[in-house]
Amino acid sequence: MPATAIRRTVLTVSAVSLSLLVTACGGGEQGGEDKEAKGGTKSEKPAAKTLTAAELEKLVVAKGDVQGHEITKPGKADVFEPGSVSVDKAECDAVGQVLSALPAGKPAATVQRLVVQESEAAKKGMPSVEELGEMTEKEAEEATLDSLDITKTMTSLWSYEADGAEQALAALRGAGEKCAGGFSMTIDGEKQQVTKVSEEKLAAGEDAVAWTVGTKQDGSAGETKVVVFRQGTTLAGFSSFNIAAVTRGEAFEQPTAVIDAQAAKLG
């Protein structure tokens, strides 16, 4: 099961389961008295503000922000605790953290939301015992997987001091390149293998990284979509997982509607 923070899901089928410090300087005026010698007209824009947890709460995606998606605060069973994720290669730690919806580096504040999108088939729920009894084994399996066609995206906002967000994103990008071939990680004592970290294209915020991360555990393979973008001193992270797609071995898309909504709120 992929190492997302979206754990302990309803799936019982087999073992499936990342500040802009603005220092843009205006050039001094020429001519007249030597203004630069007297203090000059050179100016600097102030550093972007580090957002507090209360401010992040107002900016994170909320109910009604993404059509067709349910947005709630995650429960304890939905998230991993800091320190619960470790990797066998130090250079891959940042990837393992954001894959698990934990922050890269040390943010000053953080908030999270669990965003769930159900397919039309999933909205119908699991077939009844009677309905399953009237189906062939293949039909019953497909109907069960249809009911689990749910994309869950753990959405995180992490604010940093000074240029911390910029540094954290740069570290993430480097880690993704170094660890493209995979690495081993342990989450809450359970070992699994990251088989690949494949870069994807994404335009969001002032800078961004996006990957498809392949994982394998107990013989079951899956993929997680991981996106982190920066806006000022804040990083927005997304770790997205679709139960049915993982079980079927199918690809699924980045949660672009969620990403776009969060980017719009961060400005």
Residue 59 confidence (pLDDT):
98
Alpha-carbon distance of 77 to 152, in angstroms, equals: 14
Residue 42 confidence (pLDDT):
43
Q: Which fold has domain 53-122+148-266?
A: Protein Transport Mog1p; Chain A (3.40.1000)
Least confident range of 7-21, 165-179, 246-260 = 7-21
pTM equals 0.79
Find, among 259, 93, 263, the residue nearest to 174 by Cα: 93
Domain positions in the chain: 53-122+148-266
Tens digit of each residue's pLDDT (9 = 90 or more) over 100-159: 999 999 999 999 999 999 988 888 888 888 888 888 888 888 888 888 899 999 999 999
Mean pLDDT (the chain, rounded): 84
Residue 44 confidence (pLDDT):
56
Alpha-carbon distance of 230 to 64, in angstroms, equals: 23
Segment 213-237 shows an average pLDDT of 94
Find, among 173, 172, 185, 179, the residue nearest to 197 by Cα: 179
Tens digit of each residue's pLDDT (9 = 90 or more) over 7-50: 433 333 333 332 322 333 333 334 444 434 444 444 455 667 89
Residue 37 confidence (pLDDT):
40
Residue 153 confidence (pLDDT):
97
Token readout for 73 is 């605060």
Question: What 3-state class would DSSP assign to 251?
Answer: coil
Alpha-carbon distance of 52 to 123, in angstroms, equals: 37
Residue 24 confidence (pLDDT):
33
Tens digit of each residue's pLDDT (9 = 90 or more) over 191-223: 999 999 999 999 999 999 999 999 998 888 889
Residue 119 confidence (pLDDT):
87
Residue 47 confidence (pLDDT):
66
